[in-house]
């Protein structure tokens, strides 16, 4: 809030605000304003006369009002989510403009950060790290995709037969998003895991390999969601798949499944889950996941949905449980078929607990509530293992270059900026030069 100090009383200031109000505040809450700062703000906030929080926020607000969503603070890029698609900012023409431009010569942009990292890596033969951090829903995932798009543009090789490394790197994004992203209160496509992408280059500056590491997948979302959020995208995609696929997995509408109907949000405006399913399978083929492997992946996804619809009632013995009715028995049987395991064995694993003590095993019955908790625990661990398998499969398909001496690492993870010490890169035998995009 802008204002003019009218009176000073010990530790208090009487301020006439530009809004017309007169307020009394503590002197510690007042900060000097740069009266010479342009009305539209400055591109690099190191040029501000006073680099304090109100000055920073005022500058970002002024630029945002002019649809300038990017601002520098030195070599840190501040990004403010515009909550709309701006494709003209990220096309091939724009990448060509930023290619080789001196840092700061053009307007603030993720392409400038990526180009600077690439140039430093090539010229100094020093590996680079770009940290993309900020709150959930701030736009980290989109920025990460733009960085990878630019690095593929700079380091891509001429198209050869088969799948190129840069193509596989880019197509890994929609695959991981399908299984690791979900709608949250703030964001329709929020990453519910952290990701570190290591892009390796040869001596000529061309992409020669890559590896993806993931962190902290939000497993609890598989079984429990709150309105108006959604579960992971892949569940809704599969329920909207072609009829032959739905029939194969014995699926109905998404709203019929317990793991999905805890929220009233089933469909997203502007998102066609049926098309997303087709696009995801195409991307899976590009990153080297065969048709049989894709069928197995979605068989597991469908099995988890069926497993979530198994309800339990009291069994014949004390504190025991059993599938509640024929409907629950159907979903249990279908889950067992899709998991390719014994139906009775699956039921016992949910309704009983085996404890090992002093070299012998004791089987204990579980009541209906404990059986439901066991069901959810199984769903979470199976989904987590499936996600890990996907990442490992993508890595093995893309392949790493053992001869690469330089790389660029891109980290997209919430909360990283609050760490007192950055030890993420200590296990590499490289000297890293860091860039940062903060949302």
73 is known as an active-site residue: no
* 137 marked as part of a ligand binding site: yes
Give the 3-state DSSP-derived string for 238-254, with helices as H, strands as E and coil as C. HHCCCHHHHHHCCCCCH
417 is known as an active-site residue: yes
Q: What is the pLDDT of residue 433?
A: 62
* 129 marked as part of a ligand binding site: no
| Three-class secondary structure of residue 164 per DSSP | coil
**pLDDT band at residue 318, thresholds of 50, 70 and 90?**
confident
* 399 marked as part of a ligand binding site: no
Task: Select which of 190, 214, 231, 280 is catalytic.
Answer: 190
Q: Which two tokens stand for residue 431?
A: 């000297």
53 is known as an active-site residue: no
pLDDT tens per residue, range 335-388: 999 999 999 999 999 999 988 887 788 889 999 999 999 999 999 999 999 999
Omega before 228 within 30 of 0, i.e. cis: yes
Closest residue by Cα to residue 132 from 144, 121, 116, 123: 144
CB 409 within 8 A of CB 212: no
Which of 177-186, 287-296, 364-373, 422-431 comes out lowest in average pLDDT? 422-431
Closest residue by Cα to residue 141 from 435, 388, 413: 413
Task: Select which of 59, 71, 117, 141 is catalytic.
Answer: 141
Measured distance CA(380)–CA(351) in Å, rounded: 17
Task: Select which of 24, 256, 415, 431 is catalytic.
Answer: 415
**pLDDT band at residue 163, thresholds of 50, 70 and 90?**
confident
Task: Select which of 73, 181, 191, 214 is catalytic.
Answer: 191
What's the mean pLDDT in 205-226? Answer: 94
Beta bridge pairs of residue 201: 207, 406
187 is known as an active-site residue: yes
Q: What is the pLDDT of residue 7?
A: 92
**pLDDT band at residue 10, thresholds of 50, 70 and 90?**
confident
Enumerate the domain spans of the chain.
Answer: 1-30, 38-67, 69-304+385-438
pLDDT tens per residue, range 261-316: 999 999 999 899 999 999 999 999 999 999 999 999 999 999 999 999 999 999 88
379 is known as an active-site residue: no
CATH number of 69-304+385-438: 3.40.850.10
CB 228 within 8 A of CB 182: no
415 is known as an active-site residue: yes
DSSP codes of every residue in 292-338 = HHHHHHHHHHHHHHHHHT--EEE-SSTT-EEE-SHHHHHHHHHHHHH
Q: What is the pLDDT of residue 430?
A: 46
**136-149: b or e for each residue (b if 16 or more CB lie within 10 Å)?**
ebbbbbbbbbbbbb
Measured distance CA(174)–CA(287) in Å, rounded: 10
* 140 marked as part of a ligand binding site: yes
* 96 marked as part of a ligand binding site: no
Measured distance CA(431)–CA(133) in Å, rounded: 21
* 134 marked as part of a ligand binding site: yes
| Three-class secondary structure of residue 172 per DSSP | helix
Residue 158 has pLDDT above 90, yes or no: no
What's the mean pLDDT in 166-177? Answer: 94
| Average pLDDT over the chain, rounded to an integer | 91
Task: Select which of 68, 218, 229, 417 is catalytic.
Answer: 417
433 is known as an active-site residue: no
Task: Select which of 137, 180, 209, 409 is catalytic.
Answer: 137
């Amino acid at each position: 809030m802008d204002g003019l100090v009218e009176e000073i009383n010990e530790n208090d200031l009487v301020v006439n605000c530009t809004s017309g109000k007169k307020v009394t505040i503590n002197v510690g809450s007042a900060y000097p304003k740069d009266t010479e700062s342009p009305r539209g703000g400055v591109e690099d906030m190191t040029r501000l006369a006073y680099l304090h929080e109100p000055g920073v926020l005022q500058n970002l607000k002024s630029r945002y009002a002019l649809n300038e969503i990017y601002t520098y603070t030195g070599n840190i890029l501040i990004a403010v989510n515009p909550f709309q698609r701006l494709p003209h900012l990220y096309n091939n023409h724009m990448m060509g403009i930023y290619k080789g431009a001196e840092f700061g010569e053009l307007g603030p942009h993720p392409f400038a950060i990526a180009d600077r990292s690439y140039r430093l890596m090539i010229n100094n033969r020093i590996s680079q790290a770009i940290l993309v951090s900020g709150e959930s829903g701030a736009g980290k995932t989109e920025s990460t995709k733009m960085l990878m798009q630019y690095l593929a543009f700079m380091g891509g090789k001429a198209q050869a037969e088969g799948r190129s490394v840069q193509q596989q790197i880019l197509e890994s994004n929609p695959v991981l998003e399908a299984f690791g992203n979900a709608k949250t209160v703030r964001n329709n496509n929020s990453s519910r895991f952290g990701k570190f992408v290591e892009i390796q280059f040869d001596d000529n500056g061309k992409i020669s390999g890559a590896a993806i590491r993931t962190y902290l997948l939000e497993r609890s979302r598989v079984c429990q969601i709150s309105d108006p959020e959604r579960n992971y995208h892949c569940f809704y995609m599969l329920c909207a798949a072609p009829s032959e696929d739905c029939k194969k997995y014995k699926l109905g509408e998404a709203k019929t499944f317990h793991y999905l109907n805890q929220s009233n949000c089933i469909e997203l405006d502007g998102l066609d889950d049926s098309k997303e399913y087709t696009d995801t399978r195409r991307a899976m083929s590009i990153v080297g996941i065969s048709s049989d492997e894709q069928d197995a992946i979605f068989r597991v996804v469908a099995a988890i949905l069926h497993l979530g619809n198994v309800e339990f009632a009291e069994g014949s013995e004390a504190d025991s449980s059993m599938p509640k009715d024929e409907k629950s028995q159907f979903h249990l049987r279908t889950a067992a078929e899709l998991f390719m395991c014994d139906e009775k064995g699956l039921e016992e694993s949910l309704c009983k607990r085996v404890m090992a003590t002093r070299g012998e095993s004791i089987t204990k019955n579980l009541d209906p509530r404990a059986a439901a908790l066991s069901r959810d625990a199984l769903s979470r661990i199976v989904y987590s293992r499936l996600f890990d398998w996907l990442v490992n499969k993508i890595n093995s398909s893309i392949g790493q270059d053992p001869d690469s001496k330089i790389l660029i690492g891109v980290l997209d993870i919430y909360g990283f900026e609050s760490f007192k010490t950055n030890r993420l890169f200590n296990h590499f035998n490289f000297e890293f030069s860091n860039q940062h995009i903060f949302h």
